[in-house]
Amino acid sequence: MQISFTTEQLGSDPRLPASAEIVRTCVHCGFCTATCPTYLLLGDELDSPRGRIYLIKNMLESGKAPSAGVVRHIDRCLSCLACMTTCPSGVHYMHLIDHARAYIEENYKRSIADRAIRMFLCALLPYPRRFRLALRVAKLFQPFRRLLNALPFVGGRVTAMLDLVPSDIPARSGMRGPRVFASEGRRKGRVVLLSGCAQPVLNPMINEATIRLLTRYGTEVVLPVGEGCCGALVAHMGRVEAARAFAVRNIDAWIAEAEGEGLDAILITASGCGTTIKDYGSMFRNDPSYAEKASRISALAKDVTEYLETLDLIPLRSGGLKVAYHSACSMQHGQQLKEGPKRLLGRVGYKVLDVAEGHICCGSAGVYNILQPEIAGRLRERKVGNVLKLKPDIVASGNIGCMTQIAKGFVDADAAVPVVHTVELIDWATGGPIPSALEQAQTDRASITVG
């Protein structure tokens, strides 16, 4: 695509030359439109990757505040990155949309309602204690859902939030950090496990299963002092400085471990976070004091399934259960990890089923399902419909956002299919306890049969 940034512009903002180069790489072929969920649903070129690249180019070239229309089309992007998988020219859309979101945050004044809801999410989600408290408060408001839905400007988004609150808020895990979990037997590896922020509140069993599984196979697991949210949630709302502050804390904490007893990997059980941490190197490329450290961290970062693939897992049980595997966008498009998780599930005895339209987002996308509930709801319905056609025993995924989104879809569809994390299934198959969602589903089924 032709660009017309002035030399002065390119020199005044260190992010601009990289974005200009990304725009220039786009040859306008439109292949990406075929796999873009928003284009699929809305049919508007401006809600396609190609259309958005054009809007972003104009916005950045103008150097002015964008119009409400431009912001609307950019806000509707899920950052699912399906377009990056499809693009034959290697356009790095992720870096471009991240820049666009930051530019909007810096140059556009959103409505009071929009600002309030974004501020609320940024102040709660990255902090487990606040988030847990917010979930408890939200439960008190659930009976007033209809009333809240009628609130002007924010009603739909408030109810979208309430709908994602789990029916039972799990107790805090006894396996929280900071702490080191020694390997059983001889230590063969040493890793950091990112505890995460929203995930351990919504489902602490994921990290527990990971720790059990890794230590059983000889890996020492460190939950270091000082780490926190990876920064993805705030980055998706254009808050670059807040995202960098989170990243700096993590980089410092993990470098201290790497330079102490050493690290084989930094493992992440939420693929959305993994995509962001693997990009720390790029996030700090213009920062002389953190560029090298951030690149080291990105090189050490792995999705937990990448590490598990290196272990000789011994299956003990799984009963050949049919698992519909939902590949999160951040897993398959963000990290390009497509076959590994399915291979692992197959290795330990599950029958893995591919979901039709597996490349299309489920609508979760960080906080997208709260900020854009209408589009997210349509994508969720479509995903749940495709999953249910397979008649699976279980759905597995490697991202808590997708798990929550799909589980909500099953509630709406009155379908009793448990949704679990891939690592919970692998832990169970190799000697760990049954995942609680699966146990609950089995109990419910038994009581229906008996009743």
Total site size for ligand SF4, rule CB under 6 A: 26
What's the closest the beta carbon of residue 78 comes to ligand SF4, in angstroms?
Answer: 4
Residue 28 binds to ligand SF4 (criterion: CB under 6 A): yes
Per CB under 6 A, 30 contacts ligand SF4: yes
Does 78 sit near ligand SF4 (CB under 6 A)? yes
For ligand SF4, the binding residue among 81, 134, 242, 394 (CB under 6 A) is 81
Q: Which of residues 92-111 bind ligand SF4 (CB under 6 A)?
A: 93
The verdict on 82 binding ligand SF4 (CB under 6 A) reads: yes
Q: Per rule CB under 6 A, is residue 27 in the interface with ligand SF4?
A: yes
The 3-class secondary structure across the chain, one letter per residue, is: CCCCCCHHHHHHCCCHHHHHHHHHHCCCCCHHHHHCHHHHHHCCHHHCHHHHHHHHHHHHHHCCCCCHHHHHHHHCCCCCCHHHHHCCCCCCHHHHHHHHHHHHHHHCCCCHHHHHHHHHHHHHCCCHHHHHHHHHHHHHHHHHHHHHHCCCCCHHHHHHHHHCCCCCCCCCCCCCCCEEECCCCCCCEEEEECCCCCHHHHCCHHHHHHHHHHHHCCEEEEECCCCCCCCHHHHCCCCHHHHHHHHHHHHHHHHHHHHCCCCCEEEECCHHHHHHHCCHHHHCCCCCCCHHHHHHHHHHEEEHHHHHCCCCCCCCCCCCCEEEEECCHHHHHHCCCCCHHHHHHHHCCCEEEECCCCCCCCCCCCCHHHHCHHHHHHHHHHHHHHHHCCCCCEEEECCHHHHHHHHHHHHHCCCCCCEEEHHHHHHHHCCCCCCHHHHHHHHHHHHHHHC
Binding mask 189-228 for ligand SF4 (x = CB under 6 A): ----------------------------------------
Q: Cβ closer to ligand SF4: 38 or 159?
A: 38
Choice from 71, 91, 202, 234 touching ligand SF4 (CB under 6 A) = 91
Identify whether the C-beta of residue 19 lies closer than 8 Å to the C-beta of residue 63: no
User: Which residue's CB is nearer to ligand SF4, number 75 or number 264?
Assistant: 75
Q: Please return the burial class of 337, using the count of CB atoms within 10 Å of its CB with bins 0-12, 13-18 and 19+.
A: buried
Q: Is 89 a binder of ligand SF4 (CB under 6 A)?
A: yes
Closest distance of CB 375 from ligand SF4, Å: 9
Interface residue with ligand SF4, options 3, 18, 31, 63 (CB under 6 A): 31
Q: Which of 16, 20, 26, 71 binds ligand SF4 (CB under 6 A)?
A: 26
User: Measured from the CB atom, is 49 or 238 closer to ligand SF4?
Assistant: 49
Query: Which residue stretch of 55-63, 82-90, 229-237, 256-264 sits at the interface with ligand SF4 (rule: CB under 6 A)?
Result: 82-90
Does 283 help bind ligand SF4 (rule: CB under 6 A)?
no
CB closer to ligand SF4, 253 vs 375: 375
Q: Does 37 bind ligand SF4 (CB under 6 A)?
A: yes
Among 71, 80, 229, 253, binds ligand SF4 (CB under 6 A): 80
CA dihedral sign of residues 243, 244, 250, 251: positive
CB of residue 24 to ligand SF4, shortest distance in Å: 11
Contact call for residue 280 and ligand SF4 (CB under 6 A): no
- Return the number of the residue (82 or 367) whose C-beta is nearest ligand SF4: 82
Q: Determine the interface stretch with ligand SF4 among 7-15, 23-31, 172-180, 334-342 (rule: CB under 6 A).
A: 23-31
The footprint of ligand SF4 (CB under 6 A) covers 26-32, 36-38, 49-50, 52-53, 77-83, 86-87, 89, 91, 93
